[in-house]
A = this chain, B = another copy of it.
Amino acid sequence: MAGSTLGTIFKITTWGESHGRGIGVVIDGCPAGLPLTKEDIQIFLNRRKPGQSRYATPRKEDDSVEILSGTFEGKTTGTPISLMVANQNQRSGDYSEIAGFYRPGHADYTFHEKYGFRDYRGGGRSSGRETIGRVAAGAVAHKILGQLGISFTTYTKSIGPITISSFDKNAIWENPLYMPDMDAAKKAGEYLDECMKNKDSSGGVVECVVTGIPAGIGDPVFEKLDANLAKAILSIGAVKGFEIGDGFQAAKSLGSCNNDSFCQSTEKGIHKTTNHSGGVLGGISDGDSLIFRAAIKPTPSISSPQKTVNTSGENIEVSIKGRHDPVIVPRAVVVVESMAALTILDALLLNMTAKMEGICEFYKIR
């Protein structure tokens, strides 16, 4: 089947592989009348660009986005917005070697089994470059949500064994690992230096906090807000786990501790006094901040020797050449945020039809 389309109302379709002509996304269902320039999108793409620290690939990629359709006089028209980033740094020659075997931890083997052959250049469609389409579309979703008062704080919570122990929002942008704790960032940097020395790589955890979501977003049963978030986040390559609110910790907890009390006050109206739920009850937003985490595995491309099988079916030992990110977590931060924005926006648009009252008022019939 397909697999490259996401969303019901705000629907995106991504395309492109590491070494084709480019990477793109078509956004269908974007509301008309949103002011949109390519700079709005470029800012988000820049957050995932490689070459920004010594912990990320030194490849220079411009990743400059073009708006091919869907805007007129600086505003969205309601028709599909086609965005494209041309691939500039294509050196197919580099990949002749990996054509011959299945890299451990990569999708080489599974693509081959599914499709009968594979575009082996730079991982093809399973390359990290595939996320460009997600981030470009996420930037547009982000802008719409901003107009509705919804905002995101997304950061690296841990790298390998190093976890943040304090939270300073400003610190996020002051270290190349996007950690909200400068001490943890320093230790994580040293840990990554060690990984690189050992020709090894590290995983980590990304956390995302979303504020301003009104209560009532998400649908019961299969289209729960957190269920769709889980899908969106797990659909990012290298993500191996998702949790919302207390997550796996809730499994060890007691009901008396895990339940959040409701409280009424003049300033806040009805609200929860704690947020173990992470902002969702029964799959529907509860008016509190949405808080979730994504577990990201270590970069599978490592230069230390590994055992595998070649395409002739022989057991061999390989070392992945080239320089690779010892950790992809910092570059994944904006991808996680983008997937969350896309999911929340779609749920918000779908929610407009929940009540007869809202529908009648919208169509001004009483």
A193 within 8 Å of B by Cβ? Answer: no
Give the residues in chain B near A359, CB-CB below 8 Å. 31, 144, 148, 349, 352
Set B161, B198, B358: member contacting A252, Cβ < 8 A: B161
Set B201, B237, B250, B356: member contacting A282, Cβ < 8 A: B237
Does B78 contact A309, Cβ atoms closer than 8 Å?
A: no
Interface string of A1-34 (1 = CB under 8 A from B): 1111110110101111100111110101101111
Does A248 contact B295, Cβ atoms closer than 8 Å?
A: yes
Set B22, B125, B295: member contacting A247, Cβ < 8 A: B295
A59 within 8 Å of B by Cβ? Answer: no
Does B356 contact A1, Cβ atoms closer than 8 Å?
A: no
A211 within 8 Å of B by Cβ? Answer: no
Majority SS of interface residues in chain A? mixed
Set B68, B105, B113, B234: member contacting A277, Cβ < 8 A: B105
Given known A110-B215, A246-B297, A252-B158, contact A13–B16 (CB-CB < 8 A): no
Does B77 contact A255, Cβ atoms closer than 8 Å?
A: no
Does B16 contact A68, Cβ atoms closer than 8 Å?
A: yes
Does A148 contact B365, Cβ atoms closer than 8 Å?
A: yes
Give the residues in chain B near A116, CB-CB below 8 Å. 32-33, 355, 357
Does B9 contact A350, Cβ atoms closer than 8 Å?
A: yes
**Can you tell how many copies of this chain the complex includes?**
4
Interface residues in A, total, Cβ within 8 A: 166
A65-102 interface (Cβ within 8 A of B) = 66-70, 72-73, 75-82, 84, 102
Does B254 contact A298, Cβ atoms closer than 8 Å?
A: yes
Give the residues in chain B near A223, CB-CB below 8 Å. 1-3, 235
Among the 9-residue stretches A47-55, A166-174, A284-292, the one with 4 or more Cβ atoms under 8 Å from chain B is: A284-292
A334 within 8 Å of B by Cβ? Answer: no
Which of A3, A33, A110 has most chain B Cβ within 10 Å?
A: A3
Least CB distance, A329 to chain B, in whole angstroms:
8
Least CB distance, A311 to chain B, in whole angstroms:
10
Give the residues in chain B near A73, CB-CB below 8 Å. 117
Give the residues in chain B near A84, CB-CB below 8 Å. 68
Q: Which residue of B lies closest to A84 (CB)?
A: B68
Given known A241-B244, A354-B78, contact A203–B253 (CB-CB < 8 A): yes
Measured CA separation A198–B109 after assembly (Å): 52
Give the residues in chain B near A4, CB-CB below 8 Å. 26, 28, 79-80, 220-222
A302 within 8 Å of B by Cβ? Answer: yes
Q: Which residue of B lies closest to A224 (CB)?
A: B235
Interface string of A244-269 (1 = CB under 8 A from B): 11111011111111111111100000
Ordered by A's residue number, 30 sampled pairs between the chains whose C-beta atoms are within 8 Å are A2-B11, A2-B29, A13-B28, A16-B68, A16-B80, A32-B114, A32-B115, A78-B354, A79-B125, A104-B262, A105-B260, A109-B270, A111-B282, A113-B214, A115-B354, A115-B355, A147-B356, A160-B254, A203-B253, A230-B234, A241-B250, A250-B295, A250-B296, A250-B297, A251-B297, A257-B298, A258-B300, A259-B298, A259-B302, A264-B315
Q: Which 10 A-B pairs have the closest CB atoms?
A: A107-B282, A3-B219, A241-B243, A201-B255, A231-B231, A110-B284, A3-B223, A32-B115, A15-B80, A255-B298
Name 17 extra pairs, CB < 8 A, besides A147-B356, A201-B256.
A4-B221, A31-B356, A32-B354, A32-B355, A33-B117, A78-B355, A104-B262, A107-B284, A109-B215, A109-B281, A160-B251, A203-B252, A205-B251, A230-B230, A246-B297, A253-B298, A256-B306
